[in-house]
């Protein structure tokens, strides 16, 4: 008899495979547990986590609770109270329905559940290790359910290797609570991480009130409410005014029937609604809710239920696009600032950030020679690497005086020679002789024709027409200034007259606190002031005090999930590129004539001016002969 090759997997192995699909990280398990609480009718949910959720995830609610039999059965695979037959899959009205969450979580953790219905005299406690129920008994507890998940992935150590830092996992958990809290504003939420309260959201009367609780009064005050009915779908929510934008899509939230989803149709509709209203590469803040018949949307296309499929995606796109576009056409009705001729620099993503435009200034510092080594040590480099970085950025001897540097905001700043002990630092490598490239024009000597599309400077020369990308030009100028200061001993810091409080989102605070040494290396003097607040005491002098506060907010908002993880010999270069990019004027800002003149003069004094630090061209040129041939002359 031939040996059988096909066999049925044991129940525990099958549950662990399902866990790999449903429980990607602690935040995934947290999401499933909180959604179960919402389905149980909970009006108040308390969450506690330790070690980012890997040590403990505890979710307590005041929902309907379960009987002893249901509590035991709930830990079995595909056990659910939310669907009865296949037809129910086409009309899902609950957050959970697959019956895999509890069983999958229990299979890779140590789980304890205490639950009680209001009509029962006692609660029931169920304990399971690795999916196997080891204890069932009666106990005393208030009506509702509390589930504790400890040592997540204790029996699948390979999964533990894929978890990120505690700060990152804690931030992901906070993001989950923020999204669920935004979708279900009538419920109260409390998140405690490492015995510290991260969120404490009281029940809200509207989505605007919940937005205020989550992101602060300043963000909420500049949101536009909208409500539209189209093609059988109701689209409502909040959208930021077009004067505000962010460096990432982190502030765009989309929901379908109160379920937080990542859907390309909805994301594209939001992006196109803001087309031509915000600069390219920037994103709005929006909370977009789509309510439609459950039969019109399939939520059973992803194990974690974060993706959906619409029966008529084109109609949904049109409904969302027109709801937003019509609201953005009149932004004064809700108290938004009136439209202006020029688009100002976007406001900072964090509370307390100034919206002042960055200035172009060149004021060297008489810094101590050991400054670069100290900053390198602050980045986590060893003494050898730190000394190497300090030596790399030592200036060559040069006693030449620099010319006064105009500011892009208008006005001129004192010449660097007025600073005691200051030296003009050559921007090339020490001892390297450079020959000017005749192909690169002297921008300030060309006639300024005007500005195109609020982002490109049109210049006329004897040889033809030149278009200068104002962002790329300013980015190169700023980068070289910062690099020169670093070679001189450290980025020059301008002390604030009074410290500026920077309020952090609880979801971002752990990553920001972990990156304080990197921010200090870039010239930001920061001091923690509570779990979600920083005091900004100084900023890079090249941007000024007001510009530095705005820039810090921009950089924090643009941080990735892992924060700033720059290490090694190229760390300073990468940090300077980020700093220069975020601190430069953007496409979309109209410049005045003195600002254009100041920028062109600064560009002429800068080396490597043909490209920005990321390699993009600063200018494009059309020869006079080519232009005349195009007109057949």
Most confident of 43-52, 356-365, 366-375, 434-443: 43-52
pTM: 0.63
pLDDT tier at 113 (50, 70, 90 boundaries)?
very high
Residue 299 has a pLDDT of: 73
Residue 439 has a pLDDT of: 53
Q: Is residue 337 part of a domain?
A: no
Residue 586 and residue 457 share a domain: yes
Q: What is the mean pLDDT of the chain?
A: 77
CATH number of residue 295's parent domain: 3.30.230.10
Residue 405 and residue 302 share a domain: no
Helices 371-378, 571-582: inter-axial angle, 10-degree rounding: 90
CATH number of residue 156's parent domain: 3.30.565.10
Residue 599 and residue 468 share a domain: yes
In this predicted model, which residue has the larger pLDDT, 445 or 574?
445
Cα–Cα dist 48/33, whole Å: 12
Range of the domain at 92: 11-203
Indicate the number of domains in the chain. 3
Structure tokens at 599: 């920028």
Pairing of strands 533-540, 493-503: antiparallel
Residue 196 and residue 51 share a domain: yes
DSSP β-bridge partners for residue 519: none
* Residue ending a domain, choose from 203, 224, 245: 203
Residue 24 has a pLDDT of: 84
Average pLDDT over residues 378-404: 38
Residue 43 has a pLDDT of: 96
Q: Is the pLDDT of residue 407 over 70?
A: no
Of all residues in the chain, the percent with pLDDT exceeding 70 is: 73
Dihedral angle computed from the Cα positions of residues 392, 394, 398 and 400, in that order, rounded to the nearest 10 degrees: 100
Residue 255 and residue 163 share a domain: no
Q: Is residue 521 part of a domain?
A: no
CATH number of residue 593's parent domain: 3.30.1540.20
Nearest to 455 by CA among 586, 352, 339, 578: 586
Cα–Cα dist 207/174, whole Å: 18
Structure tokens at 221: 């005050």
User: pLDDT tens-digit profile of 164-199?
Assistant: 899 999 999 999 999 999 999 999 999 999 999 999
Residue 223 and residue 192 share a domain: no
Most confident of 14-18, 99-103, 245-249, 568-572: 245-249
DSSP state of 434: -
Q: Are 475 and 487 in contact (CB under 8 A)?
A: no
Q: Is residue 361 part of a domain?
A: no
Going by C-beta distance under 8 Å and a sequence separation of 6 or more, which residues neighbour residue 488?
Answer: 364, 365, 367, 393, 395, 423, 425
Structure tokens at 16: 């662990």
Q: Is residue 51 part of a domain?
A: yes
Residue 168 and residue 99 share a domain: yes
Nearest to 176 by CA among 21, 19, 20, 26: 26
Residue 589 and residue 457 share a domain: yes
pLDDT tier at 391 (50, 70, 90 boundaries)?
very low
Residue 360 has a pLDDT of: 37
In this predicted model, which residue has the larger pLDDT, 64 or 98?
64
DSSP state of 479: H
Q: Is the pLDDT of residue 394 over 50?
A: no
pLDDT tier at 317 (50, 70, 90 boundaries)?
very high
pLDDT tier at 21 (50, 70, 90 boundaries)?
low
In this predicted model, which residue has the larger pLDDT, 93 or 333?
93
Pairing of strands 493-503, 456-461: unpaired
Residue 82 and residue 192 share a domain: yes
Cα–Cα dist 345/278, whole Å: 10
Residue 65 has a pLDDT of: 92
User: pLDDT tens-digit profile of 120-167?
Assistant: 999 999 999 988 899 999 999 999 999 999 999 988 888 888 898 999
Range in 19-23, 46-50, 139-143 with the lowest mean pLDDT: 19-23
Residue 189 and residue 115 share a domain: yes
In this predicted model, which residue has the larger pLDDT, 47 or 567?
47
Pairing of strands 252-256, 286-291: parallel
Q: Are 494 and 544 in contact (CB under 8 A)?
A: yes
pLDDT tier at 374 (50, 70, 90 boundaries)?
very low
Q: Is residue 351 part of a domain?
A: no
Residue 581 and residue 440 share a domain: yes
* Residue ending a domain, choose from 306, 328, 350: 328
Structure tokens at 529: 């002031």
Residue 90 has a pLDDT of: 53
Q: Is residue 544 part of a domain?
A: no
Residue 231 and residue 194 share a domain: no
Most confident of 404-408, 499-503, 560-564: 499-503
User: pLDDT tens-digit profile of 425-461?
Assistant: 232 333 333 333 445 678 999 999 999 998 999 999 8
Reported as half-sphere exposure (CB side, CA atoms, 13 A), residue 341 has a value of: 3
Residue 309 has a pLDDT of: 81
Q: Is residue 451 part of a domain?
A: yes
Residue 170 has a pLDDT of: 93
* Residue ending a domain, choose from 271, 300, 328: 328
Q: Is residue 543 part of a domain?
A: no
Residue 301 has a pLDDT of: 64
Going by C-beta distance under 8 Å and a sequence separation of 6 or more, which residues neighbour residue 438?
Answer: none
């Amino acid at each position: 008899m031939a040996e059988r090759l096909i066999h049925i997997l044991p129940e525990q192995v099958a549950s662990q495979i399902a866990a790999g699909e449903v429980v990607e990280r602690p935040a995934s398990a947290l999401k499933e547990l909180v959604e179960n609480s919402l389905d149980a009718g909970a009006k108040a949910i308390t969450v506690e986590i330790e070690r980012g959720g890997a040590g403990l995830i505890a979710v307590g609610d005041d929902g309907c609770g379960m009987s002893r039999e249901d509590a035991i059965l709930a830990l079995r695979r595909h056990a659910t109270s939310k669907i009865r037959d296949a037809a129910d899959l086409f009309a899902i009205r609950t957050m959970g329905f697959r019956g895999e969450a509890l069983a999958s979580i229990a299979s890779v953790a140590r789980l304890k559940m205490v639950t009680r219905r209001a009509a029962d005299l006692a609660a029931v406690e169920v304990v399971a290790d690795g999916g196997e129920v080891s204890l069932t008994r009666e106990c005393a507890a208030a009506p509702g359910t509390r589930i504790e998940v400890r040592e997540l992935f204790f029996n699948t150590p390979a999964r533990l290797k894929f978890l990120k830092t505690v700060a990152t996992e804690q931030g992901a958990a906070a993001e989950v609570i923020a999204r669920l809290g935004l979708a279900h504003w009538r419920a109260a939420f409390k998140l405690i991480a490492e015995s510290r309260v991260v969120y404490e959201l009281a029940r809200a009367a509207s989505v605007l009130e919940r937005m205020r609780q989550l992101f602060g009064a300043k963000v909420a005050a500049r949101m536009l409410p909208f409500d539209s009915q189209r093609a059988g779908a109701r689209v409502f929510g909040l959208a930021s005014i077009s004067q505000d934008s962010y460096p990432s899509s982190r502030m765009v939230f989309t929901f379908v029937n109160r379920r937080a989803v990542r859907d390309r149709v909805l994301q594209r509709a939001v992006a196109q609604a803001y087309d031509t209203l915000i600069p390219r590469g920037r994103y709005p803040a929006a909370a977009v809710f789509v309510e439609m018949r459950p039969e019109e949307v399939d939520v059973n296309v992803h194990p974690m239920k974060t993706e959906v499929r619409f029966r008529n995606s084109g109609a949904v796109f049109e409904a969302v696009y027109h709801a937003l576009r019509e609201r953005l056409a009149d932004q004064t009705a809700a108290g938004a600032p009136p439209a202006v001729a020029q688009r100002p620099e976007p406001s900072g993503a964090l509370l307390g950030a100034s919206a002042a435009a960055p200035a172009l200034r060149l004021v060297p510092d008489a810094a101590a020679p050991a400054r670069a080594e100290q900053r390198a040590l602050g980045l986590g480099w060893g003494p050898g690497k730190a000394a190497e970085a300090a030596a790399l950025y030592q200036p060559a001897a040069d006693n030449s005086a620099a010319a006064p540097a105009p500011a892009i905001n208008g006005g001129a700043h004192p010449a660097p020679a007025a600073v005691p002990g200051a030296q003009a630092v050559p921007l090339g490598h020490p001892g390297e002789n450079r020959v000017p490239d005749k192909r690169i024009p002297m921008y300030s000597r060309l006639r300024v024709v005007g500005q195109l599309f609020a982002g490109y400077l049109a210049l006329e020369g004897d040889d033809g027409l030149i278009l200068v990308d104002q962002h790329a030009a300013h980015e190169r100028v700023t980068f070289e200034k910062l690099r020169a200061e670093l070679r001189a001993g450290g980025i020059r810091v301008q002390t604030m007259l009074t410290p500026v409080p920077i309020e952090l989102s609880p979801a971002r605070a752990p990553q920001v606190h972990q990156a304080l040494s990197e921010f200090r290396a870039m010239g930001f003097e920061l001091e923690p002031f509570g779990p979600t607040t920083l005091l900004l005491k100084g900023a890079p002098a090249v941007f000024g005090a007001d510009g530095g506060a705005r820039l810090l907010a921009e950089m924090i908002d643009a941080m990735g999930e892992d924060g700033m993880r720059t290490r090694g010999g190229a760390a300073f270069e990468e940090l300077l590129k980020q700093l220069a990019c975020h601190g430069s004027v953007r496409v979309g800002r109209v410049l005045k004539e003195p600002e254009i003149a100041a920028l062109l003069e600064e560009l002429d004094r800068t080396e490597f001016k043909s490209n920005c630090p990321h390699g993009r061209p600063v200018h494009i040129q059309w020869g006079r002969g080519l232009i005349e041939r195009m007109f057949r002359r």
